[in-house]
Amino acid sequence: MHKQVWLITGAGRGMGVDFVRAALVAGHSVVASGRDRDRVSRVLGTSSDVLAVTLDVTSAADAEAAVRAAVDRFGRIDVLVNNAASFYAGYFEELTPAQIDRQLAASLIGPMNVTRAVLPVMRQQRSGHIISISSSAGLAAGFEFVSAYAASKFGLEGWMESLQAEIAPFGIATTIVNPGFFRTELLTEQSTNYAEASIADYDDRRGPLVEYWKAQNGQQLGDPAKLARALITIASEKQPPRRFIAGADAIVTAEQKIADLKAQIEAHRELSTSLAFD
């Protein structure tokens, strides 16, 4: 495996830390970014193979500055991991427009900002790999309380799938990663924001759902260190997968989604295929 330069967002906490450490163990150099560069440096320590940079992914200027710093230090960027995200939980009607905007800004527009800044470098190299961390909720979201989060992840996936067709001719690969429940900091009080209770019709269901999500924190079965090592494996492949389903629970979700789609197709196949001009 040749030495690569990785740019990882959200590298100061949670799964991003595991991604950085796995890349370093594999012998790569890492540009570790986060909103608080000092925190990133404290968590990761000092190394000639680590460059900590300030990057709020909602800022296009931050993204451009981080990419310039990466190229100035290491000369190239081989792998971008769009990891930074947020989680606004709650019923759609109770989430404010501002909360929806913040969810989309962090988890959809943010990866777009960073990727837009990285692409000129990768195009010039005629090589690169963009990995975006989605979610099982980006594949199937037929459950309550995640409408804003699912909207951001479904948007991320649609953008990534179309982007793949645009940049593949330049030798740039893309991978969407759909993790199931991993033991990260996503469900901590620092990362999860709940809608304020405002509509009485949801009262009976809201309380148990909030308790469920809070109880999941620290109990998830997925090991983020193993996912990090899986990303190293994927990034070393000559033809990386366009999608990687991460975790046995995520595979169950994906297979159920496939089954549901097939059932919906068959239920109205005759009507669906009757819509052409006579």
53-74 burial, b at 16+ Cβ within 10 Å, e below that, comes to bbbbbbbeebbbebbebbbeeb
SS3 185: coil
Per DSSP, the three-state class of 174 is strand
Cα 131 to Cα 243: distance, rounded to the nearest angstrom: 9
What Rg value do the Cα atoms of the chain yield, rounded? 20
Determine contact, residues 54/35, Cβ cutoff 8 Å: yes
Structure tokens at 22: 């796995």
Residue 149 annotated to the active site: yes
Integer angstrom CA distances of residue 37 from 4, 63, 205, 228:
22, 13, 40, 21
Residue 27 to residues 22, 44, 125, 262, Cα–Cα distance (Å): 9, 15, 21, 44
Distance CA 227, CA 229 (A): 5
DSSP 8-state secondary structure symbol assigned to residue 90: B
Q: Of these residues, 91, 149, 194, 202, which one is catalytic?
A: 149
Are 129 and 115 in contact by the 8 Å Cβ rule? The answer is no
**What residues act catalytically?**
149
